[in-house]
A and B are shown apart, each in its own frame.
Chain A
Amino acid sequence: MDTVLYEFRTAIRTSNASLLASTITPAPPAHDPGRLYAILRSTNSYSIEADVRYGLMQNNREISLTKARSAAWLDVYIAYYKVVVVLLDAEEKTNQGKLLEADWNRVYEAWKELVTTLIKGFNAGHFEGWTTPCLYVAVRCLREFAIKADEANTRTKGAITFNSGLQDDVVGALDKNDKLEDAARVINRIFGLCISDRASLDESRKWGVYYITNMMFKTYFKLNSISLSKNILRSLNATASDLPNFALFPKSHQVTFNYYVGVVSFLDEDYTRAESHLAAAHRLCPAVPFAHKNRALILTYLIPCRLLTTHVLPTPSLLAPYPGLQQLFGPLSACVRRGDLAGFDAALVAGEADFVKRRIYLTLERGRDVAVRNLFRKVFLAGGFEPVKDGQGGEAERLRRTRIPLAEFAAAVRVGTRADAREGGAGEGGLEQDEVECMLANLIYKNLMKGYISRAHGMVVLSKAGAFPGTGV
């Protein structure tokens, strides 16, 4: 405990926030791997209070804390000691393979106690604004311990609770995440603690707002209640004018925040907004090895986003540094480019599990339109040109054939879906023709193709100028 308190005094004296935060981190620092055990051995639950009090008072001259402040820190370190005791116990049991005995609930509750103590201290004004990073540690570990506790609970009790009280139905709750939900509530309090700080900006907890918000997002995503993220965004918007300029926040906060807002909009099908946030995150995220994973994550959503908004496919050079993404999007985008419908469907099926896990399946699926567009564009190009009439200029002004029989598109779809190979030539059955018309109608409706279908003549009449917008023809 002495080392911790020594570092505490140093941190307070030098206003070193990261050092201070490290003294309440429930993991040993790299340079002192045995720290937690040392703490455990150095004292016991009976004398911990006296020990810490002594440690704080003894050298109070060098840091000159007020009585109230040092009492607040006293509570924090007593709580910290209690965490260490139960944490080491749970870790030992886990390491010994006694998974069922490791009591992560107790660890969670102990840590929550510490977090509550911190919140109380901040609320009472005992902790200064620069110590806000302590809250980061608090929130980060709260989430981790909650997840571990929930996992342990699921192991012991199973995922389904059955009702036993005065309920009408047999089953109580599915997918229990009691602790994490509880953690979300605590984090929300901390969010409030940061965003509502009235101190002047250079001494404000407002600088912690985005970090906490990001943790909040992360928790909501894990809880699968992503829609709750919007509440946070709403309260951020409401206080936007009081917050420091977004660009002044640490870059890591900015990138993560942009990423989450991007993904939330993405899942909301607001692809334009999603694209702008994801692009911003991508731009800010440094192209360095340690950020590799984050860049890949951002691209996971940015690529499908672009496919829908601007029909832009990832270039091989963009995907090259990320083998994972290459595997994910490589085959699919090649098929879109080629207009290979059968290949597209196969790639979608092959990657379904991965796509669904990342929640991009339903978006990528719509990329089929682009594939169809590319296929029909080939039909158009293959159709060649109208015969040159008299009085017209040279090669450059030749007109493409814009009246194309429906049958040609139907043939293209059969080639594209390899229908001939599959069904031994289904022929021009009325059904298939109708389905091709349906595809054409969709392209026209979605403005991927300009023109109209004339059923009476069995023709598609394409626009003379830019039949396929954005593709150069």
Chain B
Amino acid sequence: MLSRVAENLFWLGRYIERAENVARLIDAARRMASLPQSINHPGSNEWSSILIAAGARETFGPDYPAATAEQAAEHLLFSKDNPSSAWRCLEAARENARTIRFILTRECWEVLNAAWSQMRFMNSADATGAALCDTIDWVKARSAEFRGTVYGTMIRDDAFHFIRLGTAVERLDYTARLIDVKYHVLLPSVDEVGSGADQNQWISLLQAVAGHRAYIHTTRDDVTARGVADFLILNETFPRSICYNARLIGDHVRALGDFYEAESPCADHIEGFVKGIADKSIDDIFDAGLHEFLTSIIASNYSVADSLAAAYGFAEFVSDPETDLGSPEAQ
């Protein structure tokens, strides 16, 4: 396969997954903002926290600590100045797909084309009030539709693996960022740890990744900080956990090696990455500091993407200046 095409497929997977994750992130903030306790903590603004988690502080501007729900949702969903907005993601996905549509099944292309032709007519009214939930659902549904169409129509060749690699790299990144939202929201009120507000915020996070019931089902236990972090980072079966997606990256790199009948040049690097996560315990992570762990995971996830780029001749590497999740001082 052409290297340019592989690179575009990888980014196609990332863009669509990113659009979905932006929607999920807004959903998490929306749920947290509707919790009564948070009203008591004007210093903790869910909306500015998700701007940080989404890497959108700079595009939003210096007023981000005081961002309102409408402003943050509009910026993350529709801003043309924010390269990670859902609008820009769908635009880029569709444009990317257009340059390589000969390799996609017709059904895959039509999903992207249709999604974009609706998105281009949406505006800030769709990020306001009750319409916001509809828009979040719509974005998630388009991503699910694309994923399902890829699963149902693409043969399991290199094209499939590159799309899935993009999806896994992006999802791993976002789950790390999502967990970190909690860190930013909570930090101004450390004494709340273990309180009812704290628990509700963790529930909101789980709900945003469709993981609340999954958590209960798996742990048969109360929602606790440690439990949720363990679940979202280390669970082997939850499809949005960091560990699951690290394994997914490893699986697809091995499948590429099988398909090409030659072990991938980045196989060792990626195997090390997967092991580095899977071998950790939640105690290790909490001892070292959750925020610090998440920051380092995001950085090594980018180095995974870079090793793929080097192995398969991508024109550009993916290391991203937005790797920095931000520190509490920045608030």
A binds B: no
